[in-house]
Amino acid sequence: MWGKRDDMVVHGSEPYNAEAPPGALADHILTPLDTFYSRNHGPVPDLDPTSWRLIVDGLVEHPLTLSPQELRSEFSEVTVVATLQCAGNRRAGLVEVRDIPGEDPWGPGATSTARWSGVGLAEVLARAGLLPRAAHIAFAAPDVSELADPAQPYGASIPVSKAVGGDVLLAWAMNDRPLPRVHGAPLRVVVPGWIGARSVKWLQRVTAREEPSDNYFQTTAYRLLPVEADPAKAGTGDGISLGPVVLNTAILSPGDGARTRPGLTRITGYAYAGEGRTVARVDVSLDGGDTWIQADLGEQAGPWAWRHWHTIAELGEGETVIVARAWDSAGATQPESPRHVWNPKGYANTSWSRVRVTCAP
């Protein structure tokens, strides 16, 4: 489906939501297109690129209507390697603590990295001329979601300070290939360092506003609620609005539940620090955190990309629980238990990553 590998973990077909098995992400700094996770809120639109236009309006001096050809010919092409991470990444670990009805049990595969090419949002906004009172840039798409109340097209926004910072793209290519339809063709937003929900696909309109987007998915859905809250009763503005990604790591290999022989075992994973910070260290433990092995960090393809890591450890016979934690450039690390970060919608599981491995001769 949608050109994805046969072993994708599919959480839903309409809308299509799927992630690759963890091992498929290992050893790929850039995630292959058939392996890149897909998060959708409604049916995937089929837009005609010959009639499609991007509208730039709102608090601007010169509203714009741009065709694909004008975007390519009148603005500088920019390429950025950036990791996108779903806010529900690793939700399955929170479900083990307490059930989270109505939410897909994403594993660690709702994180992927690509080389994105397009035009810088800052350059487009400069052409339009932002008015002084413009504080937020909203993105609108045509994919209508029945998950919203009431049903509505998807939308989100980012602060102007992020929008004009030079790293946000309006992308038409992914890993040097035309942007696939399921990933937002003909044009999508890529907001490095922020949750994937802000990187709006099938972009049709960019609007400068005084206030953040009033779209359901920003005002109500993607918000971190208190433990005691009832999501069904949560209203506009309740909880914490999710934006910049929080430090996270995941073990990719061996997989959870794997069976192998005792002895030296290669352990691999990824770590991602999100907005404004980098991964500084990853530690691996075989004894619940009493002792730690410092993993080797792989290359980082850019300031907005994850880092893969690996280490070699001696595994004895029987079951071993391997845990991993990351540290970022500000000295912050991850909480030990998913119990400490459980929330009613299952967002931002940043607890230590854990896999159980059984070794037998």
Q: How far from chain centre, in Å, is Cα 191? A: 10
- Tens digit of pLDDT for each residue in 77-120? 999 999 999 999 999 999 999 999 999 999 999 999 999 999 99
Q: Is the pLDDT of residue 160 over 90?
A: yes
Give the pLDDT score at 274. Answer: 87
- The fold adopted by the segment(s) 248-359 is Immunoglobulin-like (2.60.40)
Give the pLDDT score at 62. Answer: 98
pTM of the model: 0.96
**Phi and psi at residue 266, to the nearest 5°:** -85, 125
With cut-offs at 50, 70 and 90, classify the pLDDT of residue 250: very high
For the chain, what are the domain ranges?
A: 9-241, 248-359
* Alpha-carbon span 310 to 305, nearest angstrom: 17
Q: Is the pLDDT of residue 235 over 90?
A: no
Tell me whether residue 168 is exposed, middle or buried, using C-beta atoms within 10 angstroms of its C-beta: 0 to 12, 13 to 18, 19 or more.
buried
With cut-offs at 50, 70 and 90, classify the pLDDT of residue 151: very high
- Tens digit of pLDDT for each residue in 280-331? 999 999 999 999 999 999 999 999 999 999 999 999 999 999 999 999 999 9
Neighbouring C-beta atoms of residue 76, cutoff 10 Å: 7
With cut-offs at 50, 70 and 90, classify the pLDDT of residue 122: very high
Give the pLDDT score at 276. Answer: 83
Give the pLDDT score at 1. Answer: 85
Domain spanning 9-241, CATH architecture? Alpha-Beta Complex (3.90)
Give the pLDDT score at 272. Answer: 98
pLDDT > 90: percent of the chain: 96
pLDDT > 70: percent of the chain: 100
